[in-house]
Structures are given as structure tokens and as C-alpha cells.
Amino acid sequence: MLGLGNYNYGHFSRELFHDLARSSFSGPGPGVQAPDFKAATLDGETVRLSDYAGKKNVLLVFGSATCPMTAASIGQINELYDRFRGDEIEFLFIYVREAHPGEVIPAHKSMREKIEAARLLRDEEDMHMPIVVDDLRGSIHRKYSKLPNPAFLIDKSGRVAFLSLWSKPAGLGKAIQELLDAQEERGVQQAVVNGGQDLDMPMPYSSLYAYRALERGGVRGALIDAVEAATRRSAELAALAQAPPPSSSSAEAPR
């Protein structure tokens, strides 16, 4: 799994790229009780997920300042927050390890560094939703797949109503609306909505979003590491595509 040996990896490498490509979603599935956690927000408020049980639905969005997927989606996530946030649902952004650490934002070695990076993301992306800063071990992140930018919609019963491998605003907005409608029309707290999960990769993010996130990490570090990893992977795929097919003589003869 991505970053299993060293949670706060110092560089995004080809090996990590391979891990990500091979990874399956290991977080809680649809209808499963969401793992509880307790942590502090940037504003100093202590948040415990179980405190919302029976009261509010919760959308958990994971990400970091150097994650291109976060940069690509956060504007529309902010719009969802402005549209839906209220008595029925709370939004929590969980700040995790850096997806592409570099010389400007390196791998976190202290909570002070991690909090500073979270504040930078909040200010540069004009985020208004509460930002919960995970600890250096990734205690929350590990419970929810350790992928760079997943999202989980938790219903009032504390179970997963919908999950997405990546925080794709359109699917999340549809899931939130379906959940609110189901709770109002059927008088229930629990529901699995919008098919329960979206495990597909999103469309490639634009170079603008990618550069913005990687530049935050540091051009010499984060950007070069990301380009090198992607270039090597592309070369490997191209080599596989050009390789001659196996010789028919090496195939086992039919019995």
C-alpha cells in the first residue's frame, strides 16, 4: 500500500507511483461503520467523529497542499460546502501527509510544520470548512485508505453512505443530495447512496492545477520527483506496448 514502510515519505518516487496504481481501496466500505477519531482543527476545536452520530451527516475529504487532485477539486468542494453545510451535514477536511513533498513543503517532521502547511492550503484556496490536522503517524489517514485524496460521506448512523477513491465534486454532490432526500422522505438515518462507491480514477487534472500543487511543495523537489516518476512509468508502459508478443512455439500445445 502507498507509503506503507514510511508514512511521511521524503520524495514521490516511481515505486510509490506503482504502489498507487496497484492499490485497492482499503478504507471502510458502503454500509460499514466509519472508524472513529478525535483530533483538533486549525481553529483549536477538538472534533470527534462519533459526536455527530444521530445528529448530522459528515463529509470527510482528505488531502494536502501538494496534492494535485486536491488542488483540482477544492474549488468545487468549497461550493458544495457553501451549498449544503448546515443543520443536516458537516464538512471536515482532513489534512494528511504531503503527496509531493519538496524543498518548500517537505515531509512533515513536526506538528508545527504540518499545521503551517494546512494553513497555507486554507489561505491559498480560500477554504472555509473546518480543517482537521491528522497526527504525524497518519492515525486518521491509515483508517481511511491512506490514498492522497479520498472522500467519505458518513450518514447520521455513523456508517459510510458513499465513498470515492478521489474527491470528485459532482459525485459527492449527488450523493449528499440523495442522502438528504432519503432521510427526509423515509425518516431513516442510514442509507447507501449513489451506488455506494466510486472507485474510478478521475479525468487527468490540468497542468495548471498540477503545477499549483507541486509548486507549493517546491519546484526542485516535488515537481521534479513527480515528472520523473510519471516519465519513467510512461516509458515502461511504452516499452511493454512495443514488446513483441510471446512466440506461439512457447505456448503449451493443446492436449
- Comparing CA positions, the residue from 224, 230, 77 lying closest to residue 153 is 77
Q: Which residues pair with 248 in a beta bridge?
A: none
Q: How far is CA 211 from CA 80, 107, 172, 238, in A?
A: 24, 18, 25, 25
Share of residues in the chain with pLDDT > 90 (%): 63
Residue 105 has pLDDT above 70, yes or no: yes
Residue 116 has pLDDT above 80, yes or no: yes
Name the CATH superfamily housing domain 14-239.
Glutaredoxin (3.40.30.10)
Which pLDDT tens digit goes with each residue over 139-155? 999 999 999 999 999 99
In contact, 85 and 46? CB cutoff 8 Å:
no
Which pLDDT tens digit goes with each residue over 51-88? 999 999 999 999 999 998 999 999 999 999 999 999 99
Which pLDDT tens digit goes with each residue over 147-183? 999 999 999 999 999 999 999 999 999 999 999 999 9
In contact, 47 and 39? CB cutoff 8 Å:
yes
Per-residue confidence at 215, pLDDT binned at 50, 70, 90?
confident
Element (H, E) at 133: strand 131-133
Cell readout for 246 is 510471446
Per-residue confidence at 212, pLDDT binned at 50, 70, 90?
low
The size of the chain, in residues, is 255
Mean pLDDT of the residues in the chain: 83
Q: Which residues pair with 160 in a beta bridge?
A: 154
Q: Is the entire prediction scored with pTM above 0.85?
A: no
Burial class of residue 108 (count of CB atoms within 10 Å of its CB; 0-12, 13-18, 19+):
buried
pLDDT of residue 245: 52
Residue 110 has pLDDT above 70, yes or no: yes
Residue 226 has pLDDT above 50, yes or no: no
- Comparing CA positions, the residue from 219, 210, 142, 155 lying closest to residue 181 is 155
pLDDT of residue 21: 53
Q: Which residues, in sequence order, are CB contacts of 53 under 8 Å at separation 6+?
A: 156, 157, 158
- The C-alpha angle 123, 128, 134, rounded to 5 degrees, equals 80
Q: Which residues, in sequence order, are CB contacts of 85 under 8 Å at separation 6+?
A: 91, 129
Q: Which residue has the cell 520524495?
A: 11
Q: What is the mean pLDDT of the segment spanning 36-49?
A: 97
- Comparing CA positions, the residue from 79, 195, 209, 194 lying closest to residue 149 is 209
Q: What is the Cα 193 distance to its own chain's centre?
A: 19
Share of residues in the chain with pLDDT > 70 (%): 73
Residue 234 has pLDDT above 70, yes or no: no
Residue 237 has pLDDT above 50, yes or no: no
